[in-house]
Amino acid sequence: MRQKKNIALISGSLRKDSYNTKILRNFEKEFINHGYNCTFIDLNEYPIPFFNSDIESSGTPVNVTFIKNLIKSSSGLVVSSPEYNGEISAVLKNCLDWLSRKGPNEIPKETFIGLKSIGISVSTGKNAAKRALERLTVLLKRLGVDEDIITYNLGNLSNNFFNEDNILLDNKELDTINNIIKIYSDSITNINKADNIIKIKAS
Ligand SMILES: Cc1cc2nc3c(=O)[nH]c(=O)nc-3n(C[C@H](O)[C@H](O)[C@H](O)COP(=O)(O)O)c2cc1C
């Protein structure tokens, strides 16, 4: 059952100093300031094998089950991805592929139905990771999240954008993140409707 105040955040970069992870941490901090309970998934800490139905037939990996249950108890999903050759990262795609699989007692797309989501992609490049962000939003919609995905992207990133605690130094960007969280909070009122959809489809 989705809890209005629960947010799951997943970084699609494994890099220790990842800008996508740092930006996602800034979202997490602001969500916490707005009274939300956040769980941050660093995929280094939740390794998942490449999807293979042979592995699946012998049991879903525990880290997939953990992330799936986390998302099913959340009202919001915030995902960030690097742009690699115009696409999202392979590690994130693999994670989402596993999460898309229907469990024995689940209805199709149950993990994602009604989930309010925020897609993020930031890059060192001048195109501000627009292509990866577009891919990410198409994929999230296909998985079944609420159609109105909120997006955030930023380019030309470097370590100069952050202080030693990885907080963004640019007040304009911090304001943008704050506004996104306000938009998120206003839109989450429909979460009970989403739970009803799941109940109706399940019966
Ligand atoms: C294989 C590879 C492909 C990349 N392709 C793109 C690209 O298409 N567009 C872009 O803006 N940046 C591209 N980059 C740069 C990454 O977006 C940049 O390194 C970014 O900081 C990675 O995200 P992270 O800091 O969260 O790890 C590429 C980097 C790698 C390693």
Q: What is the pLDDT of residues 181-192, one digit of tens each?
A: 999 999 986 555
The domain spans of the chain are 3-202
Cβ-proximal residues to 37 (8 Å cutoff; 6+ apart), any chain: 3, 5, 6, 7
pLDDT (mean) for 127-156: 97
Q: Is 3-202 a CATH 3.40.50.360 domain?
A: yes
Measured in Å, residue 201 CA sits from the centre of ligand 1 at 40
Residue nearest to atom 20 of ligand 1 (CA): 123
Measured in Å, residue 120 CA sits from the centre of ligand 1 at 14
Work out whether strand 3-11 and strand 74-80 pair parallel, antiparallel, or are unpaired. Answer: parallel
pLDDT (mean) for 144-162: 96
Cβ contact 35:95 at 8 Å: no
Q: Encode 154-183: b = buried (16+ Cβ within 10 Å), e = exposed.
A: beebeeebbeeebebeeeebeeebeebbee
Residues in contact with ligand 1 (CB, 6 Å cut-off): 13, 15, 18-20, 82-86, 123-125, 127, 129
- Single pTM value for the model: 0.93
Per cent of the chain over pLDDT 90 is 91
Distance CA 39, CA 20 (A): 16
Nearest in space to 98 (alpha carbons), one of 23, 44, 147, 46: 46
User: pLDDT tens digits for 9-18?
Assistant: 999 999 999 9
Cβ contact 82:13 at 8 Å: yes
Measured in Å, residue 81 CA sits from the centre of ligand 1 at 10
pLDDT number for residue 202:
44
Residue nearest to atom 1 of ligand 1 (CA): 84
pLDDT number for residue 200:
46
